[in-house]
Amino acid sequence: MNQAPARLSLPAIWNMSFGFLGIQFGFGLQMANMSAIYQFLGAEEGDLPILWLAAPMTGLIVQPIIGYYSDRTWTRLGRRRPYFLAGAICASLALVAMPNSSTLWMAAGLLWVLDASVNISMEPFRAFVGDLLPEGQRKVGFAMQSLMIGLGAVLSSSLPWLLTNVFDVGAHGEASSNQIPWSVHLSFYIGAVVFLLAVLYTIVTTKERPPADMAAFEAEKRRTAGAGTAIKAILGGILDMPKIMQRLAVVQFFTWLGLFCMWLYFSPAIARGMFGGEPGSAAYQRGVEWGGVCFSTYNGVAFAFAFGLIALVRKFSARSVHAVCLVCGGLGLVSVGWWTAPWALLISMVGVGVAWASILALPYALLANALPAERMGFFMGVFNYFIVLPQILAATLLGPVVDRFFDGASMPVVMAGGVALLIAAVALLGLVPKDEAEVAA
């Protein structure tokens, strides 16, 4: 049904991946600042997981649906690009509104809108690589996405700190009626512009190929039309996952459980534990901004390490490289609890950055060549179930765990995230045979 992909030049792969810079810019602002925004609006640390629940719940619902319908879409903009554009417009509007939230539930509702919009843009980008690149270039395509993600996250995570400490705009935070600092407001406004422009760049510079047999494509689209058919196909597809996808799902589950522990609690942990601040205080804000610098550091490491990732997987198995990277990330998060000086956290972030570069590329490279081309978008969406399910688990359980067992302290949860990454590495080596991984990759 689809034309065989032709090899693309490196600049063309850059163009098709550039939109991910904008997507990650918005996502990075969300990851680095939402816990702090909630606390500026009055949330306690035990409240944070349930307030974050909107993000994974949205992914659970949106991603397979977008994947299913993008497989069956063809317009003047192509197959995946209409979803890039719609998601970018909605996400940009949500980014503008988020720092103007006046209540906790307004912020939680906007997070729901923002995360749904990010998913609408992000999910088809994974399938975009499978659509436009031949099997031999897909590792390069996913690694290029990893580069863009790293660059976007570096810029977005450090932006509030830069605006306060370099451009001296953070001092106006107290003038905000909801106490969300002006540096955060301005960061989100900049993020809205970057998100939209980066996605538009990919839409303008990268063309999609129409189905080889348009009549057959339209006939299949009519045959599978209707919500009932879609629901049946989605549920059936979940039960019909390729074998390597089932095995990688376990690895993804523990990987993203560890990451969510970090994203959810890292900034509050160091703002209180290292900087001795309480929400609303200057010390707390300094801690949150330093948390953004730490996030920027691990994303910067991921950006740099992605350049060497392709060389590594050419020499060693993708499975082995990914396992070693997960160990680096696990040790990085466990070590966060060892330090007393804020600067030392940057050492831990090196390990996290190595893992992050691999997480963004190698599981998808292992998976993509094992998926049927005509269902690429759908299965990529289903694969993301094993990203959002651990997040839902964390969002529902971590709050009571922090309150009951750690007396409100969140640093142990960050360290537990490191243990989860180590479990993911063991699962990868134990469940995915080397020969099967090599064939898939």
The CATH number for 129's domain is 1.20.1250.20
More confident call, 308 vs 310: 308
Q: What pLDDT, in 10s, does the model give residues 368-418?
A: 777 777 777 778 777 877 887 887 887 777 777 776 766 666 788 889 899
Rounded-to-integer distance, Cα 266 and Cα 261, Å: 8
User: Exposure pattern of 209-228 as b/e (b: 16+ CB <10 Å)?
Assistant: eebeeeeebeebeeeeeeee
User: Which residue matches tokens 């993911």?
Assistant: 424
User: Which of 107, 110, 106 lies closest to 118 in space, CA to CA?
Assistant: 110
Q: Can you say whether residue 223 is alpha, beta or left, with left for phi > 0 and alpha for psi between -120 and 50 degrees?
A: alpha
Region of residue 133 (left: phi > 0; alpha: psi -120 to 50; beta: else): beta
Residue 413 is encoded by which pair of tokens? Answer: 């949860």
Instruction: Give me the pLDDT at residue 22, please.
Output: 94
Least trusted range by pLDDT, from 43-52, 341-350, 356-365: 43-52
Residue 227 in domain = yes
**What's the mean pLDDT in 331-340?**
90
Would residue 80 count as lying in a domain? yes
**Token pair listed for 367:** 């998976």
Q: What percent of the chain has pLDDT over 90?
A: 26
**Residue 5: inside a domain:** no
Higher pLDDT, 198 or 438: 198
Residue 2 lies in a domain: no
Does pLDDT of 334 surpass 90?
A: yes
pLDDT band, residue 153 (cuts 50/70/90): confident
**220 or 84, which is more confident?**
84
The reply to whether 407 falls in a domain is yes
Q: Is residue 283 part of a domain?
A: yes
Q: What value does the mean pLDDT take over residues 61-80?
A: 85
Give the C-alpha separation, 12 to 205, whole Å: 8
The segment with the largest mean pLDDT, out of 230-239, 241-250, 419-428, is: 419-428
Is residue 310 in a domain? yes
What is the structure's pLDDT at 436?
A: 53
Q: Cβ-count burial of 320 within 10 angstroms (0-12 exposed, 13-18 middle, 19+ buried)?
A: middle
Distances (CA, A) of 168 to 181, 183, 281: 12, 9, 18
pLDDT at 254 over 90: yes
Mean of the pLDDT values across residues 283-290? 82
pTM for the complete prediction?
0.76
Q: What is the pLDDT of residue 172?
A: 45
Our CA dihedral for 367, 392, 296, 21, rounded to 10 degrees, sits at 50
- Region 336-365: mean pLDDT is 89
What is the Cα–Cα distance from 373 to 384, expressed in whole angstroms? 17
pLDDT at 186: 92
Amino acid sitting at position 108: A
Alpha-carbon distance 37 to 426, whole Å? 36
Report the pLDDT averaged over residues 71-86: 90
> Among 165-179, 292-306, 308-322, 333-347, whose mean pLDDT is lowest?
165-179
One-letter-per-residue 3-state SS of the chain: CCCCCCCCCHHHHHHHHCHHHHHHHHHHHHHHHHHHHHHHCCCCHHHHHHHHCHHHHHHHHHHHHHHHHHHCCCECCECCHHHHHHHHHHHHHHHHHHHHCCCHHHHHHHHHHHHHHHHHHHHHHHHHHHHHCCHHHHHHHHHHHHHHHHHHHHHHHHHHHHHHHCCCCHHHHHHCCCCCCHHHHHHHHHHHHHHHHHHHHHHHHCCCCCCCCHHHHHHHHHHCCCHHHHHHHHHHHHHCCCHHHHHHHHHHHHHHHHHHHHHHHHHHHHHHHCCCCCCCCHHHHHHHHHHHHHHHHHHHHHHHHHHHHHHHHHHCCHHHHHHHHHHHHHHHHHHHHHCCCHHHHHHHHHHHHHHHHHHHHHHHHHHHCCCCHHHHHHHHHHHCHHHHHHHHHHHHHHHHHHHHHCCCCCHHHHHHHHHHHHHHHHHHHHHCCHHHHHHHC
Helix axes 227-239, 376-383, angle to 10 degrees: 60
pLDDT given at position 380: 79
Residue carrying the six token digits 């397979």: 64
Q: What's the pLDDT band for 299 if we cut at 50, 70, 90?
A: confident
Q: Nearest Cα to 131, choosing from 198, 92, 84?
A: 84
For helices 138-165 and 282-315, give the axis angle rounded to 10 degrees: 160
- pLDDT of amino acid 286: 83
Q: pLDDT-derived band of residue 177, with 50, 70 and 90 as boundaries?
A: very low
- pLDDT higher than threshold 90 for residue 353: yes
pLDDT per position as a tens digit, 90-131: 999 999 999 999 888 899 889 889 988 988 888 788 888 878
Encoding tokens for residue 439? 């064939």
Whole-angstrom Cα distance, residue 38 to residue 36?
A: 5
Q: Amino acid identity, residue 335?
A: S
Tokens of 374: 């005509």
Residue 225 has pLDDT above 70, yes or no: no
Q: What is the mean pLDDT of residues 415-424?
A: 94
Whether 269 shows a pLDDT value over 90: the answer reads no
Instruction: Specify whether the CB–CB gap between 387 and 256 falls below 8 A.
Output: yes
Instruction: Give the pLDDT confidence of 21-59 residue by residue, as tens digits.
Output: 999 899 888 877 888 888 888 887 667 777 877 667 777
Are the beta carbons of 246 and 31 closer than 8 angstroms? Answer: no
Tens digits of residue pLDDT in 83-92: 999 999 999 9
Q: What is the pLDDT of residue 92?
A: 96
Q: What integer pLDDT is reported at residue 227 of this predicted model? A: 67
Please state the domain count of the chain: 1
Confidence category of residue 215, pLDDT binned at 50, 70, 90: confident
Its domain, for residue 244, covers 10-440
φ/ψ of residue 75, rounded to 5: -135, -175
Residue 279 identity: P
Asked if the structure places residue 1 within a domain, the reply is no
- Alpha-carbon distance of 34 to 39, in angstroms, equals 9
- Which among 49, 105, 9, 33 is positioned nearest to 292, based on CA atoms? 33
Mean pLDDT of the chain: 83
